[in-house]
Amino acid sequence: MLRSPALVTAIVAVTALAGSPALAGPSTGLTIDRTEKHQPIDGFGYSIAFQRSSLVHNLTGDKREEALDLLLDRRTGAAPSILRLGIGSSATNPYDWMLSIQPTDPGGPTATPTYSWDGWDGGQVWYTKEARKRGIDRFYADAWSAPGYMKDNGTDINGGALCGLQGVTCASGDWREAYARYLVQYAKFYRQEGIKLDEIGFTNEPDWTTSYASMRFTPAQAAEFVKVLGPIARKAGVDVACCDSFGWQQSEAYAQAIEADPEARRYLDLFTGHGYASPSDHPLPTTARTWMSEWAPSSVADGWNEAWDSGKGTDGIALAERIHDTLALADSSAFIFWLGSSRGGTAALMQIDDANNAYRVSSRLYAFAAYSRFIRPGAVRIGIDNAQDGLKVSAYRNADGTEVVEILNTTGAAVETAINLKRPTAYVTDSTHNLAEVPTVVSRRGSHSTIELAPRSLTTLVAKRPGRG
């Protein structure tokens, strides 16, 4: 339910400072431990797959530019540093399917490929070029399925498995290497457009069957295919990602299978998992860098929701909490939201009504941006001590030395606390602020600052490197 602000401020955690008798002892408060280092941060992003990026293109005039700035701009928008693309497998082109670069069987797995490229790719080529204009240069492309003729069920939908994998026999032969070359060719087409794809993934939710593009891999089969794709991708200068399992806990079996196979582990550059069947709230058993590569709340019951805190799973505060847990509990180096934009009753960051040349923005976009604008690629998560129930806190140091502290107050009361930051700038995201700078949140007390946290809010503190101004 919607929670109203409390009238009484709770004094919960402060650090003692000379001449400040109202403050408690130094064992309380938020204390950044700059010697404690956790995972590196690669960035934040969202998917533009399934022709959703074309919706933005369908807007005209100022509306298109406004939407692009909200979705991509570093200073005023969502500020992603990563975009996730979809590698198509469909031979036909309904509204939200992704077209294959080889829609028909060339005559078997050893036949000369007959690739085709339209330079559009469901709007993704155009969108990535717009992203690059705004300084975004990391692109991860993932396949939901191989083309149907490469699979044992003869279609790119409804699961099925890649022909030639262990336990999968097809009359048409072994399509493993042909599929690997297919994926790399997709990256080559993008390079032809002047866009470098950094990682390619060969599977999406390999443990989940859907009525749209989908394909099954067991953990052992995934490790097997990494060894097929790895040498081909490495020669082409593209990294390999796996395995985008349906839930974070379910990803553990895939991580263990790859870790147990030295050759597979050698060719795996990035381990990815989703947060649906189970949340991203603990580290995965892999030595590879990990990304939470897809999550979004369900919009089935909620419909389009712009609220920050209405008690729904699609609220902005719910997304902020999920991002916090993914970074602070799961040690993930990236958080990739499902969709930047879509239409209808969507849980995307933005709703596009291209028929009426209009758009709407959800509070989820500002929850996302509170992290993505300030925690930049190359940052590292650092330690922070927090003894207060109801606060979820994480801290980061960027490559330029700036420090960022994210404080999520999940309680219905205002909270005052202290932190060992000098003169931080405070940005508030809640029911009345969309990532707005609020100078009155911070008051200076020597080398520390006192922070006033609004009820049910996300406060983002940004400070220069200690000792610099």
Residue 405 forms beta bridges with which residues? 395, 461
53 within 8 A of 124, measured Cβ to Cβ: yes
Which whole-number Å values give the CA distances from 19 to 23, 24, 217, 450, in the listed order? 9, 12, 64, 14
Q: What is the pLDDT of residue 62?
A: 98
**Averaged pLDDT for residues 332-358:** 98
Q: What is the pLDDT of residue 254?
A: 98
124 within 8 A of 49, measured Cβ to Cβ: yes
Residue 397 forms beta bridges with which residues? 380, 403
Rounded to the nearest 10°, the torsion over CA 343, 344, 347, 349 is 40
Among 337, 355, 377, the domain boundary falls at 377
State pLDDT tens for residues 100-156: 999 999 999 999 999 999 999 999 999 999 999 999 999 999 999 999 999 999 999
31 within 8 A of 405, measured Cβ to Cβ: no
Question: pTM value?
Answer: 0.92
**Averaged pLDDT for residues 354-359:** 98
For residue 49, the domain's CATH number is 3.20.20.80
Q: Which two tokens stand for residue 173?
A: 């032969």
Residue 239 forms beta bridges with which residues? 199
Is 295 in the same domain as 401?
no
Q: What is the pLDDT of residue 28?
A: 55
19 within 8 A of 450, measured Cβ to Cβ: no
Is 278 in the same domain as 142?
yes
Confidence label for 24 from pLDDT (cuts 50, 70 and 90): very low
In a domain, 110, yes or no: yes
Confidence label for 448 from pLDDT (cuts 50, 70 and 90): confident
Q: Is 337 left (phi over 0), alpha (psi -120 to 50) or beta?
A: beta
Is 26 in the same domain as 53?
no
Q: Which two tokens stand for residue 190?
A: 């993008």
Give the chain's domain count: 2
Is 193 in the same domain as 329?
yes
Is 365 in the same domain as 458?
no
Is 221 in the same domain as 278?
yes
Q: Which domain holds residue 119?
A: 43-377
Is 159 in the same domain as 31?
no
Mean pLDDT of the chain: 93
**CA 5 – CA 415 distance, rounded (Å):** 11
Q: How many CA atoms lie within 13 A of 345 on its CB side?
A: 6
In a domain, 3, yes or no: no
Among 348, 377, 406, the domain boundary falls at 377
E strand intervals along 324-435: 334-339, 341-342, 350-353, 358-361, 379-385, 391-397, 403-409, 415-419, 425-429
Among 317, 347, 377, the domain boundary falls at 377
Is 385 in the same domain as 359?
no
In the three-class reduction of DSSP (H, G, I as helix; E, B as strand; rest coil), residue 35 is classed as strand
Helix H, strand E, coil C: the string for 428-460 is EECCCCCCEECHHHEEEECCEEEEEECCCEEEE
Is 162 in the same domain as 178?
yes
Q: What is the pLDDT of residue 468?
A: 47
